[in-house]
Amino acid sequence: MPRMRDAVNRSLAEKLASRKAGICLYGFAPPKQATPPEQLERIVAQQLARFGSLAVDGLIVYDIQDEAERVAAPRPFPFLPTLNPDVYAHDHLGSLAVPKIVYRCVNRDTPDRFIGWLNSGTEPRISVLVGAPSRRSQVGLPLTDAYALAQQHSSNILLGGIAIAERHARTLDEHKRILAKTEMGCRFFVTQAVYDVTSTKSLLSDYALAVAETSGMPLPIILTFSPCGSVKTLSFMKWLGVAVPRWLENELQFARDPLAKSLELSERIFLEIRDYAHDKGIPLGVNVESVSIRREEIEASVELLQSLRRRIERSE
Amino acid sequence: MPRMRDAVNRSLAEKLASRKAGICLYGFAPPKQATPPEQLERIVAQQLARFGSLAVDGLIVYDIQDEAERVAAPRPFPFLPTLNPDVYAHDHLGSLAVPKIVYRCVNRDTPDRFIGWLNSGTEPRISVLVGAPSRRSQVGLPLTDAYALAQQHSSNILLGGIAIAERHARTLDEHKRILAKTEMGCRFFVTQAVYDVTSTKSLLSDYALAVAETSGMPLPIILTFSPCGSVKTLSFMKWLGVAVPRWLENELQFARDPLAKSLELSERIFLEIRDYAHDKGIPLGVNVESVSIRREEIEASVELLQSLRRRIERSE
């Protein structure tokens, strides 16, 4: 159904390209490669139903890397390869009339393979390119090479990039990476799960100042929120590199209902950063994800998305 | 006038000892030792007038150390020795019927000199003991020895301690230092200037959890606020070890009126931490100081104190 897909993705691509504030996305990883066919069918049917009724501007389909090279600590959940996010988004969920942003880890690409992917469709696509999880694990295509190839070979992909506030807290140069990725074709940015208001505000502050210096316009920054219902999920998020302030970790750990607490805290974090971004003229969006496969955490992520969307609509 | 001083200090000592929330203090350093007599007279007259009309529960008179050993960077303002804070508080400002908390750097004491000081008055005194600014500069009496001597030799001094949220952010054990200082006789704690909400909330969170574990009661934590009207004052605060989040530094640096901005931000920080401390059952107080000697920064600090006091009164 290339025609329908075309029209569907265009709506989100236009919102992103026109720097619209308040974009709402829902992020998830494809099922594991090892999922038996009947189970996969059930998951697809469930997701078609869940996402079909979701009031979102688009879905984000992640491309999951192992990332074990990034940190010495053992991964709290085992890494199991997932289905190709492109295939999952456009084939398995192809009948879903919701725009999709597909992540692609170029670390696993060769130049030829990446060019093949760039040329593999004619309809407008939206994609976020992801580099190697650490400098040590750099084996495939470097991210900058991928951006350069995308600019040479394709005009039908709207590209986004990743923005990591935690990196900014350490090096104070993440806004420069955002500007460099903008030069290389990115039109929007998605953060990691936000639990640390301070580093996120600091990144937005430096970004807004840097954009003002060049007389440019800030691009949409999509803040990711990730409900956390257990100590294990929390430790997984921390393993993934998400900064969780000590007080907030305590709140989650000692809450009677950690999941409800994490929704409450996520909403507060969103409101504080939204006000700040609004003052700075940065179009802010949200992406709610669930890093866990526990049913209640998935349901909580849908609930959070809906309440953030209501907050956004009320302020429009 | 020992009788009057007695009654005056007792009011604050009772509030602190009974763990009263909402205590309002004003902190300042004594004039430089090198101040010519006529100028000193003028300063004393000014301060008697200013502090006499100030609606506060008490004054804090700092004991200023050089602290040059603590950091490699040059001190933004030159260090000039100040008058002895005890002498300044109780002699120069002796006629002022306002309770006084006098800081004492025990780093400059010998055991004998410190015991002499402990026994030097009969009236109730309130004092905060300060240790060496860094381990390298440990030359005089160690802080733990000073607390032990205070417990042995004096019963008329209510002792407080310093609590440093910035240290907690690095080592996550400042709450243990607070508990250890409580064991050694401290009945309240005063922070450095608070510009970093996160580390302060994290310290309060760990402190509240640790106190709950021992079935104890949290002691008053006095948050210090320090208006900042210039890049130089900002750099001095950072030099003193105050953590200033990047976004907040940007706000101050690029504000049309940095001083007004710093008051606005300080009020917001206070409100956020007050709500948090209230939830945790921690009696919070405030201390407004001016680290600079610029007239407008001093006036702003008085203004901030008044507006924080109104906030506190409104919530009582």
Q: Please write the tens of the pLDDT for every residue from A68-92.
A: 777 788 888 888 899 999 999 999 9
Q: Which residue of A lies nearest to B279 if distances are taken between CA atoms?
A: A251
Instruction: Give B257-281 pLDDT, tens digit per residue.
Output: 999 999 999 999 999 999 999 999 9
Name the 3-class secondary structure at B191. Answer: strand
Q: Which residue has the tokens 């906030």?
A: B311
Query: What is the interface pTM, i.e. ipTM, of the complex?
Result: 0.91
**Paired sense of beta strands B157-163 and B24-28, if any:** unpaired
Residue B30 makes CB contacts below 8 A (sequence gap 6+) with B61, B62, B64, B82, B83, B84, B85, B88, B89, B92
Which one of B169, B205, B245 has the shortest CB-CB distance to A202?
A: B245
CB–CB contact B172 A246 (8 Å): yes
Q: Which residue of A lies nearest to B277 if distances are taken between CA atoms?
A: A247
> How far is the C-alpha of A102 from the C-alpha of A125, rounded, in Å?
8
Instruction: Give A136-165 pLDDT, tens digit per residue.
Output: 766 789 999 999 999 999 778 999 999 999
Q: Which residues pair with B194 in a beta bridge?
A: none
Tell me the average pLDDT of chain B. 92
> How far is the C-alpha of B222 from the C-alpha of B211, rounded, in Å?
17
CB–CB contact A250 B198 (8 Å): no
CB–CB contact A204 B247 (8 Å): yes
Closest by CA position to B291, among listed B248, B235, B247, B243: B235
> How far is the C-alpha of B107 from the C-alpha of B111, rounded, in Å?
10
Q: Which pTM was predicted?
A: 0.94
Which one of B202, B209, B247 has the shortest CB-CB distance to A202?
A: B247
CB A65 within 8 A of CB A105: yes
Which one of B206, B245, B250 has the shortest CB-CB distance to A209?
A: B250
CB–CB contact B198 A245 (8 Å): yes
**Mean pLDDT, each 10-residue run in order, chain A (316 residues):** 62 96 97 96 95 95 84 83 94 95 95 93 88 78 95 89 96 97 97 97 98 94 96 92 96 96 97 97 96 88 96 88
